[in-house]
Amino acid sequence: YWVFGYGSLIWKPPPVYEERIPGFIKGHVRRFWQHSTDHRGTVESPGRVVTLIPVEEWKLMEDYHDHKDGITWGVAYKINEKDVEKIKAYLDYREKVCIEARVCGYTIHYADVYQLGHDEPIVKNAVVYIATTKNESYIGPASLESIALQIHQSVGPSGPNNEYLFNLASALRELAPDAHDSHLFDLEKEVLEL
């Protein structure tokens, strides 16, 4: 059982795992287009956290950042069979996965994980938690300044929203120094200047 993380799972892994492999998935764009009212913001002052937008859907949107390589870097975690149920429950709670028939939070998807220099995936069908554009907390694109200000001002039960941004940017630099994520790094720069 493998789980791929592209947000806070990069620096705050599941409590138990067997193996950690840096890599990327294809066909998605990482964006701070998801409201957080439970971790990095509140109902009164929502924060913003990342989700993945399918590239084909993203191409139809107005976005100020490019996405040249069409890949999203993150980390794949191998979960021991004896821990799968416990980790699934932990992640489903952490990612606010819908158990009822309504649309909310992140939903479970599957993706192959690759590494540079390998044509074949190093992990097939890893679980990926994605908040689709149809979930109730999807906020969508906005100007760099607007997103940065919202992140700068928001604080939730898990801490300041800018801490989430800075941790993600730092972890991604360490994980994949050549990764191209202008959305993330431009936001980091903008928030640091506020």
Q: What is the CATH number of the domain that holds 184?
A: 3.10.490
User: How many structural domains are present in the chain?
Assistant: 1
95 is catalytic: yes
What CA–CA distance (Å, rounded) separates 161 from 180?
A: 22
What CA–CA distance (Å, rounded) separates 48 from 137?
A: 10
Catalytic residue among 95, 163, 174, 190: 95
* Average pLDDT value for residue range 16-40: 94
- Chain segment 101-116, per-residue pLDDT in tens: 444 578 899 999 999 8
Domain range for 147: 2-192
- Chain segment 53-71, per-residue pLDDT in tens: 999 999 899 887 777 778 9
Strands (E), 55-185: 71-78, 107-113, 123-130, 155-156, 159-160
Judge whether residue 96 has pLDDT over 80: no
